[in-house]
Structure 1
Amino acid sequence: MSRSEWESLCDGCAQCCLIKLEGDDGEGIFQTDVACRLLDLESCRCTRYQERSRLVPNCVTLHPGNVSQLPWMPKTCAYRLLSEGKELFDWHPLISGDPESVHAAGASVRDAVISETEVAADELEDHIIYKVEVEEV
Structure 2
Amino acid sequence: MTTPFWLTKSLNQMTPEEWESLCDGCGRCCLQKLEDEDTGEVHNTSLACQLLDIASCQCSDYAHRKEKVPECLKLTVSDIPHFHWLPDTCAYRLLAEGKPLFDWHPLVSGETDSIHHAGISVRAFAQSETTVPEEDWEDYIIPLQNIDP
What is the TM-score of this pair, normalised by structure 1? Answer: 0.91
SS in 2 for 1:74: coil
Do the aligned partners of 1:92 and 1:102 also contact (CA within 8 Å) in 2? yes
Distance 2:80 2:44 in 1: 17
Q: CA RMSD in A?
A: 1.5
Do the aligned partners of 1:38 and 1:46 also contact (CA within 8 Å) in 2? yes
Distance 2:81 2:40 in 1: 20
> Which among 89, 96, 99 is matched to residue 86 of structure 1?
99
Q: Which has the higher helix share?
A: 2
Q: Which 5+ residue runs of structure 2 have no aligned equivalent?
A: 1-13
**Deviation per CA, 1:5-64, whole angstroms, max 9, x where unpaired?**
100000000100000011123341111010000000100000010111111111111112
Distance 1:55 1:29 in 2: 23
Identity of aligned residues (%): 52
Do the aligned partners of 2:83 and 2:92 also contact (CA within 8 Å) in 1? no
Q: Structure 1 residue 114 and structure 2 residue 114: aligned? A: no
> Which among 91, 113, 122 is matched to residue 100 of structure 1?
113
- Please give the residue correspondences for 1:12-91 in structure 2 after superposition, counting only pairs within 5 Å: 12-91=25-104
Do the aligned partners of 1:64 and 1:83 also contact (CA within 8 Å) in 2? no
Do the aligned partners of 2:84 and 2:93 also contact (CA within 8 Å) in 1? no
Distance 1:68 1:105 in 2: 28
Distance 2:125 2:141 in 1: 13
SS in 2 for 1:11: coil
**Runs of 4+ displaced beyond 2 Å:** none
Aligned residues: 132
Letter in 1 for 2:140: H
Do the aligned partners of 1:68 and 1:80 also contact (CA within 8 Å) in 2? no
